[in-house]
Amino acid sequence: ARDRSATAAPATVSTAECEPLPQSAVEVLISDTAKRRDLDPDLLRGVVRQESSFRPCAVSPKGALGLMQLMPATAAQLGVKDPFDPRENLDAGAKLLKQLMSMYEDLPLALGAYNAGPGKVNAAEGVPKIPETLNYVQKILSVLPVPW
């Protein structure tokens, strides 16, 4: 996994001229990707909702791109050719999330690392006390069946 500590996607994204994907398309993409990456579809859906509100052309002020708000360097490391292609972006983001889950063996820490970067999670020895990151983790966990 890579360190997003200096490049975490912010809570706000540009949505100009970018409509959310239709729910039917989102569900097919999430279902297929969750199966391929061995992830809970509710988890993947929660991350996409927090990252981009299902907008495939979302761009954050810090430059994070697409459904899973991949930073350009991360997208390149994951072999993404078109970060605005919903399937490609979702698959790469799911791969990254799965790597973080394997690394931390703890869902809140993996989500914290997806948002703030592994460097900040490691330095904090837990979910960083960054309001955006705490909110991000809480919102995603709140839509999952317990126990996650």
Catalytic residue among 17, 51, 105, 132: 51
Q: Which long-range contacts (CB under 8 A, 24 or more apart) does 68-73 make?
A: 68/92, 68/93, 68/94, 68/96, 69/9, 69/13, 69/93, 70/96, 71/4, 71/7, 71/9, 73/2, 73/7
Asked whether the beta carbons of 98 and 38 are under 8 A apart, the reply is yes
Looking from the CA of 28 toward its CB, the CA atoms found within 13 Å total 6
88 is catalytic: no
* CA neighbor of 36 nearest in space, from 88, 107, 108, 109: 88
Active site residues: 51
